Chain A
Amino acid sequence: MLELKNISFAYKAQSPVINNVSLTIATGEFLAIAGRNGSGKTTLTRLIMALKKPTSGEITLDGKTTKKSGPADMARSIGYVFQNPDRQIFHDTVIAEVAYGPEQLGYSPDKVTEMVNQALTATGLTELASAYPATLSRGQKQRLAIASALAMEPKMLILDEPTSGQDNIERNQLMKLLADLNKQGLAILLITHDMELLAAYATRVIVMDHGTNAYDGTPATLFKNTAQLKKWGLTEPTAMNISQNLEDLGIVPTTSITDLSNHLIDMMGRSTHAKSSAAY
């Protein structure tokens, strides 16, 4: 769906922020971008949104070049949810806020209402439709930002660290929402520092390092590569760390706490069984 061909970008000619990145994002993918601060994660997504133009290379959307597109054109296909939802909220009600995007794109009032209602239902904000956005909780504001993007019926949603500053319940709700949207066919591109989330939800990970995509593959393979992880400024999820340390005991490395504990219970069950049978 989206293809980046040899993209480079630099604020100053001698120090490129993005250095010759090529990648393809397919319809319905759940992709996470990780990497240390300043590695080029956000810049990459800003280039995709046409908020910045690459100094060289080309980005195509459904086979068409986006050289002449602005962010407002890209918004028809790609929704962008910023880290700070306060920067975009300005209407007096949730429903008016969500309607802003489709109205800007020039849809008829009936179509706008339909799009808004769908977006509110999808994000679970229907009951808050007439609420004043400033009074919403951080998590609700984040969902409002997602609804605003969804209302424009994009094929892909980019989220820049959407879980920062949220409590566990809000975080889990948000991730469940993203997983549901992804199941309905929406491609998700998530920038995150949270390796647990990444391991649990993403099907593909891109690690950015000094402006290049140093890794592109599944989370499972990524976390096996302990030496490289350190170099990229990442840490494996706790479950992966424990299971790797217990590999000698016959534990299969896993990123999921549930899998690990099941495995351990299984083993303990077996060993207590072995002991008890020995006693007899």
Chain B
Amino acid sequence: MQKAAPLTKLILTVFVTIWAIMLQSIPALAILIAAQLLILILSKVSAGIYKGVASLFIFAFLLGGLQYVFSNDIILSVVTALKMTAMTLVFAILLATTRMQDLSAALVTQCRVPYEYAFMLTAALRFIPDLLTESKAIQEAQACRGFSPGGNPITRLTSFMAIIKPLVLKSVSRSETMALSLELRGFGSKKNRTFGSNVALEVRDYAMLALMTAITISLILVRF
């Protein structure tokens, strides 16, 4: 999957979303999810991705449970949960197998998204691991001053201010530094920017696109 062009994977996310909406039976959705998991395994993604996928399943399970509580329709709840999983799993595939710079290059050159917006998306995504590292460091710093989360949920929430406040302050100053360094390196100075990465479609991609279109058409034919 790493070898496929980012555009192919972007289109795959769109198609998978359409399929997930169209499919109504539990086995069909299960096959879709299984196929996506197979792609993840074949792409040999890192262990961290699987953790994310696991939490995705837990979230879907909770969502289904909630739906069951309110609608009392077991089939409907299972279908909803499976649809949610199928739709989100494809993003895990996209993000785990695509480099950020390739993604923004594809968005700008092929999808005609203005560079600022494409950059906003990739910048937000790359900030997440930074924030996690930072929050861990802050937790350690506060632990050395007697911070230990515990007690009832309300005290726990208020005690977490000791982590959140420095985290927000540091992130703000960090984004300021980032904005400055971006500007100093010519961000937004030219309308037509070029990209170093090659995101052109190859035979492999055309084959995948044809396959995806064929699946979609046959689904439409079966449904109507």
Contact = CB atoms under 8 A, between A and B. Distances in A.
Given A86-B166, A90-B161, A134-B169, A75 B146 contact: yes
B146 A104 contact: yes
A104 B144 CA distance: 11
Interface string B144-156: 1111100000000
Given A87-B137, A87-B138, A72 B170 contact: no
B43 interface: no
Given A51-B140, A71-B140, A100-B162, A86 B169 contact: yes
A35 interface: no
A94 interface: no
Nearest to A151: B145
A149 interface: yes
Interface string A53-79: 000000000000000001110111001
A88 interface: yes
B169 A88 contact: no
Interface in B126-170: 134, 137-138, 140-148, 161-162, 165-166, 169-170
Given A51-B140, A71-B140, A82-B141, A90 B146 contact: no
B162 A71 contact: no
A89 interface: yes
Contacts of A86: 166, 169-170, 173
A70 B148 contact: yes
Interface string A193-230: 00000000000000000000000000000000000000
B141 A87 contact: yes
Contact of A49 (B144, B165, B173): B144
Interface centre among A88, A149, A152, by most B CB within 10 Å?
A: A88
Contacts of B145: 75, 88, 100-101, 104, 148-149, 152
B170 A101 contact: no
Interface in A92-150: 100-101, 104-105, 134, 148-149
Contacts of A82: 141, 144
A115 to B, nearest CB: 12
Interface string A235-273: 000000000000000000000000000000000000000
Contacts of B142: 88
A80 interface: yes
Nearest to A103: B146
Contacts of A149: 144-145
Interface in B173-214: 173
Interface in B86-141: 134, 137-138, 140-141
Interface in A127-183: 134, 148-149, 152
A88 B141 contact: yes
Given A71-B140, A82-B141, A90 B165 contact: yes
B146 A72 contact: yes
B143 A71 contact: yes
Contact of B144 (A51, A89, A90, A105): A51
Nearest to A46: B140
A72 B147 contact: yes
A149 B146 CA distance: 10
Contacts of B144: 49, 51, 71-72, 74-75, 79-80, 82, 149
Given A87-B138, A90-B162, A105 B169 contact: no
A114 B3 CA distance: 65
A88 B137 CA distance: 9
Contact of A87 (B148, B161, B170): B170
18 contacts: A70-B148, A71-B144, A72-B148, A74-B144, A75-B145, A76-B146, A86-B170, A87-B137, A87-B138, A87-B170, A88-B166, A90-B161, A100-B146, A100-B162, A101-B145, A104-B147, A148-B145, A149-B144
Interface of A: 49, 51, 70-72, 74-76, 79-80, 82, 86-90, 100-101, 104-105, 134, 148-149, 152
Given A51-B140, A72-B144, 4 more contacts: A72-B147, A88-B138, A90-B161, A152-B145
Closest A-B pairs by Cβ, 6 of them: A104-B146, A90-B165, A71-B143, A80-B144, A88-B141, A72-B148
